[in-house]
């Protein structure tokens, strides 16, 4: 097998975007999206103070809103990400949750619900607060990354995947990995870039 053929995935093109598939009401894509991001949204809800028994209900509201408004998500600026857009929706649904609780003082306590609302809203209602202490969100998102990698791995030949993994995950140089895998350093770098590009599409950070 040549190095050129090594770069071609067994299942065809790797250029598709998870979000674009979800926008087309592809059931498998939507299931992947929810599976990827539900644990992250749940962690935000916990940090914002949503009761454990209510997290499933908030998740349903969040992803219902995502399904309704997914066509509105656009990367108009370099810093725009699907994760940031999702956090904004989660924040709004959490605010709705505490507003409902505030009207039901026996459920959580009117004072506590009011305090939670103030914490989430912050000094300015349009400022999105960090839902977790430093490092916590990254820890949860690492799990999202691992599940995304598991999802896309079958699309790549084993040597392509090994080249990516050894450079990006193990932190080895392209030249070192090339010697191990009998590849050219340039081919190793191409392998890394292709998998990373596909990963970003799977996470919704770039479109077609």
Please give the radius of gyration of the chain, using alpha carbons only, rounded to the nearest integer. 21
Over the stretch 143-176, which tens digit does the pLDDT of each residue have?
788 888 888 899 999 999 999 999 988 899 999 9
What pLDDT shows up at residue 207?
46
CA distance 37 to 30: 11
How confident is the model at residue 3, as a pLDDT? 46
Question: What are the tokens at 50?
Answer: 């949503």
Instruction: Name the fold adopted by 15-154.
Output: Rna Polymerase Sigma Factor; Chain: A (1.10.1740)
Distance (Å, whole) CA 32 – CA 151: 8
Percent of the chain's residues with pLDDT above 70: 71
Is the per-residue pLDDT at 39 higher than 60? yes
Q: Alpha carbon of 90 to those of 76, 84, 116: distances in Å? A: 21, 10, 15
Least confident of 64-73, 131-140, 160-169: 131-140
Going from N- to C-terminal start, the domains of the chain cover 15-154
Q: What is the mean pLDDT of residues 58-64?
A: 95
Sorted by sequence, the CB contacts under 8 Å of residue 27 that are 6+ apart come out as: none
Query: In whole angstroms, what is the distance from residue 114 CA to residue 27 CA?
Result: 39
Mean of all residue pLDDT scores within the chain: 78
**Residue 63, class by beta-carbon neighbours within 10 Å (0-12 exposed, 13-18 middle, 19+ buried)?**
buried
| Statement: residue 24 has pLDDT above 50 | yes
Distant-in-sequence, close-in-space partners of 199: CB < 8 Å, separation ≥ 6? 145, 148, 149, 152
Q: Say whether pLDDT at 113 is over 60.
A: no
Q: The pTM is what?
A: 0.65
């Amino acid at each position: 097998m040549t190095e050129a053929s090594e770069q071609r995935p067994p299942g065809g093109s790797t250029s598709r975007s998870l979000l674009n598939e979800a926008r087309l009401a592809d059931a498998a894509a939507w299931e992947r999206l929810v599976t990827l991001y539900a644990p992250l949204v749940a962690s935000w809800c916990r940090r914002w103070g949503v009761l454990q028994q209510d997290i499933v209900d908030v998740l349903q509201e969040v992803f219902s809103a995502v399904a309704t408004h997914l066509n509105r998500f656009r990367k108009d600026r370099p810093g725009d990400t699907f994760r940031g857009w999702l956090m904004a929706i989660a924040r709004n649904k959490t605010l709705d949750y505490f507003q409902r609780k505030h009207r039901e003082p026996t459920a959580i306590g009117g004072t506590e619900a009011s305090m939670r609302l103030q914490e989430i809203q912050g000094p300015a209602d349009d400022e999105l607060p960090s839902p977790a202490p430093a490092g916590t969100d990254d820890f949860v998102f690492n799990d999202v990354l691992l599940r995304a990698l598991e999802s896309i791995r079958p699309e790549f030949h084993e040597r392509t995947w090994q080249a990516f993994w050894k450079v990006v995950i193990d932190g080895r140089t392209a030249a070192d990995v090339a010697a191990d895998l009998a590849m050219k350093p340039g081919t190793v770098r191409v392998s890394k870039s292709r998998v990373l590009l596909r990963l970003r599409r799977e996470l919704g950070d770039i479109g077609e």
